[in-house]
Chains A and B, each alone.
Chain A
């Protein structure tokens, strides 16, 4: 049906574009004002951007879990933030034990690998159990039902871990080899950030290779395309789904340790905000799409890190860093409203959502 442009534009669109333009204006005016004020040196921007990239790496690994599960089951695994929390919150005991035994100082790399392995295994286990107990029986239920289950599971896990390990915060020991920074010209490059970014990229490449190159990856893509046809082709759909959850959980566990390198305290509530941000990243890049998750996470990390200072400082907003999360949520809301398919997304969100 052909309609003129006047008919196609609804009141809703006008409102959305109005708000969008207002936000764009704030960003542009704020950026210009901040840059003209010269309050921040290039070095300061570089610091912010680098820590943003590191944060983005962590988000990317968490986002992978959302994206893989969404790609296959078309559901938001709301409890993924707790999968992320469970790993580092458990591995902290290993880290503390290693620290007491002195192993962390004598064999730092080995200890770090061990901690990561424990964290990843715990997250992986939780993700698989979650699928088995909470999601599998509901695969054919109406959409709202698994989502509510996921919310319930998220709270259950959060408070179960709170009950098991206590509500206080626990601190990771510091690794001496990660302290300090390299100097390149006038720029400082923190070792922790580099380690986080590099490990996140390596992990992403490995997982991408698994999805694209291996047999099980092919099966995952087939199931994501059409569950029934895939099962007719002899693919064990249940097994593929378990592997998907396991992969997502594993990378969330790794992300947890990387997160703990940057922010060395863990508690039962640590998953909520990073989980939501990672979901934002997954949506930003195009949910269901592995490279998209990486791209979205990096963009989100950097924008979140430099955004408040860049956009808001120049406007005279006091304490712009308080609004860091706000920047991320505004991105989330707007991406979902304006382009729910994300940057690299297929036209999936509209067809299936």
Chain B
């Protein structure tokens, strides 16, 4: 589609206004201020400033990619316009803030924020600097469009890695300091805060070079290896991944083990929900209920506090799993006839009912009411208690490994194919002889079991359960992570859990804004890439059928080829 020059500028103007509003929102919700203290590159690039220039940069990249017509020079110029408009918005609000006390309404419009916006200078030079910074970001983003795809991706990935490394500087240093002889080799990269300029430059160069070279002809050669060798390679990969996973806690220390435990818990729940939502296409918003049921069953059966039973953790585990599976079955029964959004709401209702019941005084003698259940047993092997975070990591790891194995095997089984058939078109699936009742119930029961397992391990980790923590938010966390990773994709669950659960645990500043970011990511993901970060081939096919057909070629082969 050819666009006239005028519409280019209009698009740039619109994109600039959007960028300005996004930057402003980032500033006013307090993100800029709370990241101000974290430098990506020591004393040179603070994260807060990076957040302010990120929107014009990203929109510059996006807009320039859309502009295919016109002279090449118009694209960077459009980027410049985007940046300048964004800068104007920020400066305007800054000036309003000078005249009116915005803090009465927007609690984050504080002097600290203004100082950040002004780069600590007087108003006029600050305004000019702000315009220049935003303009440069927009220009840089749009100029990337002039480069080839391969180079652009390499540069963008290098930027992402740079930001990540800079943000996680403190943790990296803690870990590296444990490594003895290797420490000085890597320590020079990190400054007091963030990376050193030299370190940043070398990281940038190394990563962009690596990505650039990997995208070359070698990638194609890898796929062409003979099957026998592929098998050996994949066995080797699995072996080394297992070794790394087993060695992680002693290498990384207690704090990281705790983070990994949370990630493991969410991987477990994600794998379960992935079966219900991803495989069978039944949107379950009350997934937290099964996790609560698993944890509470563990509590009731092992805690001496309530005085009913006094089993060990491993004795109670099968009971907890069976109870969770049964709960999934019970929930599944009445909602079988429902589809889509009604199902989502009913399951949401179930989740809330379970939580309210657990909290109520009515069931206090059995479930502990708002005080929860304390003194839950931890897993023991012989007389050896798996008590601390590093030991529990192995319990989570074992749980995740089993769950992932089961999920992967189920996916290619008759049942898995039946789930996917129901997801794609229930009526057709039933017409082809798939029993809808049994198939859906199995999805609910298997999903609930995984979640119950997660809940049981969590109960052991905390040695207590509280209904207060079993809110709707947990269900949303799990749902978000499987959507980010890619619905129906098992590796996607792991990617999603690392990104959504691991990152906020590592970055305290981020934790405060995690739900804001989750929400934005969910919407953005659905709008631009509904199949997720690590998509499953079939799912991608479903969501992009029309585009793939339009692009030519038979859809199934195209999608599978694209996923390889």
Contacts and interface: CB of A to CB of B under 8 A. Distances in A.
A148 B356 contact: no
A147 B284 CA distance: 12
A67 B384 CA distance: 58
Nearest to B330: A15
A42 interface: no
B249 to A, nearest CB: 32
A135 B491 CA distance: 29
B526 A145 contact: yes
B520 interface: yes
Nearest to A349: B342
B516 interface: yes
A142 B425 CA distance: 11
Interface in B441-487: 472, 476, 479-480, 483
A35 to B, nearest CB: 20
Contact of A93 (B104, B281, B335, B346): B104
B208 to A, nearest CB: 32
Contacts of B31: 163
B365 to A, nearest CB: 10
B339 A353 contact: yes
Contacts of A38: none
A279 B345 contact: yes
B341 A12 contact: no
Contacts of B349: 276, 329-330, 332-333, 336
B522 A142 contact: no
A134 interface: yes
Interface residues of A, number: 56
A133 B520 CA distance: 11
B105 A326 contact: no
A317 B338 contact: no
B95 interface: no
B29 A326 contact: no
A159 B356 CA distance: 24
A76 interface: yes
B306 interface: no
Nearest to A133: B523
Nearest to B336: A12
Contacts of B104: 93
Given A159-B519, A160-B29, A145 B342 contact: no
Interface string A115-145: 0000000000000000001100110011111
Interface in A319-351: 319, 322-323, 325-326, 329-330, 332-333, 336-337, 340, 349
B340 A276 contact: no
Contact of A12 (B106, B345, B437): B437
Contacts of A133: 523
Contacts of A317: 362
Contacts of A75: 341
B530 A156 contact: no
B523 A149 contact: yes
Contact of B338 (A152, A154, A160, A336): A336
A166 interface: yes
B356 A329 contact: yes
B522 A149 contact: yes
Given A148-B483, A151-B522, A329-B356, A163 B513 contact: yes
B350 interface: yes
B352 A155 contact: no
B535 to A, nearest CB: 14
A45 interface: no
Contacts of A12: 333-334, 336-337, 437
A19 B333 CA distance: 12
Given A145-B526, A151-B479, A317-B362, A165 B106 contact: yes
B519 A144 contact: no
Contacts of B515: 155, 158-159
A153 interface: yes
Interface in B256-305: 277, 281, 283, 285
A16 interface: yes
Interface string B310-342: 000000000000000000001001111111111
Contacts of B521: 152
B359 interface: yes
A163 B333 contact: no
Contact of B333 (A15, A146, A147, A326): A15
Nearest to B480: A152
B140 interface: no
Query: Would you call the interface of chain B mostly helix, strand, loop, or mixed?
Result: helix
B171 interface: no
A157 B521 CA distance: 12
A185 interface: no
B360 interface: yes
A353 B340 contact: yes
Contact of B357 (A134, A141, A151, A326): A326
B547 to A, nearest CB: 12
A15 B331 CA distance: 11
B48 interface: no
A326 B353 contact: yes
B107 A138 contact: no
Given A142-B543, A152-B518, A332 B341 contact: no
Given A134-B527, A154-B519, A144 B340 contact: yes
Contact of B530 (A145, A322, A323, A333): A145
Contact of A330 (B25, B334, B353, B520): B353
A232 interface: no
B19 to A, nearest CB: 14
A156 B519 contact: yes
B341 A152 contact: no
A234 interface: no
A233 interface: no
Nearest to A140: B546
B106 A329 contact: no
A152 B523 contact: yes
B325 to A, nearest CB: 16
B344 interface: yes
B526 A142 contact: no
A336 B476 contact: no
B527 A149 contact: yes
B526 A337 contact: no
B346 A333 contact: yes
B30 interface: yes
Given A160-B516, A353-B340, A93 B356 contact: no
Given A158-B515, A158-B519, A163-B516, 12 more contacts: A75-B341, A76-B345, A141-B526, A147-B283, A152-B526, A159-B29, A276-B352, A317-B362, A332-B345, A333-B346, A333-B353, A336-B346
Interface of A: 10, 12, 15-16, 19, 75-76, 93, 133-134, 137-138, 141-149, 151-160, 162-166, 272, 276, 279, 283, 317-319, 322-323, 325-326, 329-330, 332-333, 336-337, 340, 349, 353
Q: Which 10 A-B pairs have the closest CB atoms?
A: A152-B522, A163-B29, A156-B519, A155-B519, A159-B516, A166-B107, A152-B523, A149-B526, A76-B341, A329-B349
Interface of B: 25, 28-31, 104-108, 277, 281, 283, 285, 330, 333-342, 344-346, 348-350, 352-353, 356-357, 359-362, 364, 437, 472, 476, 479-480, 483, 513, 515-516, 518-523, 525-527, 530, 542-543
29 contacts: A12-B336, A16-B333, A93-B105, A134-B527, A138-B526, A143-B340, A144-B277, A145-B526, A148-B283, A151-B479, A153-B522, A155-B515, A156-B516, A156-B520, A156-B523, A158-B519, A163-B29, A163-B108, A164-B107, A272-B472, A319-B360, A325-B352, A326-B353, A329-B349, A332-B349, A336-B338, A336-B342, A337-B346, A353-B339
